[in-house]
């Protein structure tokens, strides 16, 4: 392990919710929850004001509404989040060629690789400068952790939240880790944590004292050896630049189980077309078509078909997905459907209709956690999602507060305006149409923080930090 804290971990503060607060003056300082708003929706991110009431990422949205009924509940604007994420990643790449994005709002940076930092003072200067640059360019805040390893840098950034910087100096690592929960260490999820707890191991100190042989006996050679090394603060994992995409996929969870087989087939074809649009947007093609079906009883099936060559042809993907559906029993209802493409390449092979009908191998691929972006949905489904941008020919730019019963309520305000007024229109009002997000207002070092200091919750999924 290196002798200076030159690995940086950046985690944007409650990213999705902070973007919404920065975009909408009326929501600043208030509880904001971003995620799926249907009966089976899940929280993607909660603002720090919402976390005070116990709301956190991955929580069922129905539970969040019970905990914080007064909060603003918004549908994610993934395209806008991606554009802001790219601005942040550009700042990181200016520091080092070794940037390892983990999600839209989180990344590791090796500052030593390009000589950006070589000791504790230089690393601290880089971290402080990065935070100032993020605020200046995006108007948002991020927390920075600096340490001699990836594991410790991530722990440091969690301690820095919100909007802070923490450096773990070499030589202090074991003392810092000792009292922490075993769940702090990479690779210790709920199942492993429960297994260790039943063996009487609750803290990192307990792991270190148990010894490597005991951990290998409990967890197996590979996992036990790795966990013991981390308990001693040894983490040699390098920062790996720009992970290569392994698959492109889309999926939808339905508010009400689908029982009609014809409707299921229609949904699969629609998902196949969306998947191909994403594939082409990334300049890729793929050789293996994957269908994912989650049935009424939560059992999940995956089926795949491997073609003789890569394709980005929507007709080929549709036909392959339809054949895969023929092998799945949907009796009882379907709650989730997904279509994906793996075996990615940056070229296509012509005349794949014949290939698609030819021999294919059956495999069970890894399941994807990629959720469909609202902007990929048909216009009828995404017309007035809560939180999304609209424009009125008279009142200008605004955002949807809610809709239903043939009415849509809009608050008219912009990122640099005062909190705006609310007006209600018919959903088919010809003067109202979906709009584009407006740029956020950059903030200088002395500007008011968007996310007030509040008890930090553990970071989890994209945009939740």
How large is the C-alpha radius of gyration of the chain? 24
| Homologous superfamily of 247-365 | DNA polymerase, Y-family, little finger domain (3.30.1490.100)
Tell the residue number behind the tokens 């469909």, with chain if given: 372
pLDDT score for 126? 96
In angstroms, how far is the first alpha carbon of the chain from the final one? 27
pLDDT of residue 219: 86
- Reported as half-sphere exposure (CB side, CA atoms, 13 A), residue 327 has a value of 13
Per annotation, catalytic residue among 106, 251, 305, 413: 106
What kind and span of H or E run contains 310? strand 300-311
Q: Provide DSSP, 62-82.
A: HHHHHH-TTSEEE---HHHHH
pLDDT of residue 417: 95
User: pLDDT tens across 223-239, in order?
Assistant: 889 899 999 999 999 99
What pLDDT band is residue 280 in, cutting at 50, 70 and 90? confident
Q: What is the pLDDT of residue 345?
A: 73
Span of 35-49, 79-93, 161-175, 410-424 with lowest mean pLDDT: 35-49
Segment 393-404 mean pLDDT: 94
The percent of residues above 90 in pLDDT, for the chain, comes to 64
Q: Which residues contact 266 (CB under 8 A, 6 or more apart)?
A: none
DSSP state, residue 323: H
Residue 100 annotated to the active site: no
pLDDT beyond 90 at 17: yes
According to DSSP, residue 181 is labeled B
Reading phi first (left if > 0) and then psi (alpha if -120 to 50, else beta), residue 276 is in: alpha
Q: Tell me, rounded to whole angstroms, the distance of Cα 460 from its chain centroid.
A: 9
Per-position DSSP letters for 252-321, written without gaps between them = EEEEEEE--HHHHHHHHHHHHHHHHHHHHHTT-EEEEEEEEEEETTS-EEEEEEEEEEEE--HHHHHHHH
Q: Is 234 helix (H, G, I), strand (E, B) or coil?
A: coil
Task: Report the alpha-carbon distance of residue 64 to residue 56 in Å, rounded.
Answer: 8
Q: Which of these, 325, 312, 284, 306, lies nearest to 365 by C-alpha position? A: 306
| Distance of alpha carbon 111 from alpha carbon 134, whole angstroms | 17
Q: Say what percent of the chain tops pLDDT 70.
A: 86
**What mean pLDDT is reported for the chain?**
85
Lowest mean pLDDT segment, chosen from 55-64, 313-322, 451-460: 451-460
Q: What residues have CB less than 8 Å from 391, skipping those under 6 apart? A: 397, 398, 432, 433, 434, 435
**CATH 3.30.1490.100 domain span(s) along the chain:** 247-365
pLDDT digits (tens, 9 = 90+) for 189-201: 888 888 899 999 9
Strand order in the sheet with 32-35: 43-46, 32-35, 72-74
Q: Which SS3 state, helix, strand or coil, does residue 268 take?
A: helix
- Placement of tokens 């069970």 in the chain: 364
Whether 376 contacts 272, CB under 8 Å: no
């Amino acid at each position: 392990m290196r002798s200076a804290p030159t690995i940086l971990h950046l985690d944007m503060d409650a990213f999705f919710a902070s973007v919404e607060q920065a975009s909408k003056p009326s929501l600043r300082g208030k509880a904001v929850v971003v995620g799926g708003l249907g009966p089976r929706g899940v929280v993607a991110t909660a603002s720090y004001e919402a976390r005070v009431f116990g709301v956190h990422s991955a929580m069922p949205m129905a539970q969040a509404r019970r905990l914080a009924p007064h909060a603003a509940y918004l549908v994610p604007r993934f395209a806008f989040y991606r554009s802001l994420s790219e601005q942040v990643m550009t700042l990181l790449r200016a520091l080092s060629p070794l940037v390892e994005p983990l999600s839209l709002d989180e990344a590791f940076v090796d500052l030593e690789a390009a000589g950006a930092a070589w000791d504790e003072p230089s690393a601290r200067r880089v971290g402080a400068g990065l935070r100032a640059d993020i605020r200046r360019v995006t108007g948002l805040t991020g927390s920075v952790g600096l340490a001699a390893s990836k594991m410790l840098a991530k722990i440091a950034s969690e301690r820095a939240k919100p909007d802070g910087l923490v450096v773990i100096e070499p030589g202090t690592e074991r003392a810092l880790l000792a009292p922490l929960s075993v769940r702090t260490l990479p690779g210790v999820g709920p199942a492993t944590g429960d297994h260790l707890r039943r063996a009487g191991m609750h803290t990192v100190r307990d792991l270190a004292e148990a010894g490597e042989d005991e951990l290998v006996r409990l967890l197996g050679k590979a996992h036990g050896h790795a966990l013991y090394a981390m308990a001693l603060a040894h983490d040699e994992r390098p920062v790996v630049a720009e992970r290569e995409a392994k698959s492109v996929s889309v999926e939808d969870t339905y508010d009400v189980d689908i029982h009609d087989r014809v409707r299921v087939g229609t949904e699969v074809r629609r998902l196949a077309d969306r998947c191909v649009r994403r594939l082409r947007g990334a300049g890729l093609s793929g050789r293996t078509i994957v269908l994912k079906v989650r049935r009424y009883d939560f059992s999940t099936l995956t089926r795949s078909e491997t073609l003789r060559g890569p394709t980005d042809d929507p007709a080929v993907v549709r036909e392959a997905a339809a054949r895969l559906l023929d092998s799945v029993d949907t009796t009882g209802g379907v709650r989730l459907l997904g279509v994906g493409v793996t075996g990615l390449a940056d070229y296509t092979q012509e005349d794949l209709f014949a290939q698609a009908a030819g021999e294919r191998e059956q495999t069970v691929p890894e399941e994807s956690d990629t959720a469909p972006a609202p902007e990929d949905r048909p216009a009828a489904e995404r017309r007035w999602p809560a939180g999304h941008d609209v424009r009125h020919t008279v009142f200008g730019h605004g955002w949807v507060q809610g809709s239903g019963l043939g009415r849509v309520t809009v608050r008219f305000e912009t990122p640099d305006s005062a909190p705006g007024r609310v007006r209600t229109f018919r959903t088919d009002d010809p003067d109202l149409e979906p709009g584009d997000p407006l740029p956020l207002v950059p903030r200088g070092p002395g500007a008011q923080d968007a996310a007030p200091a509040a008890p930090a919750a553990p970071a989890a999924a994209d945009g939740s930090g």
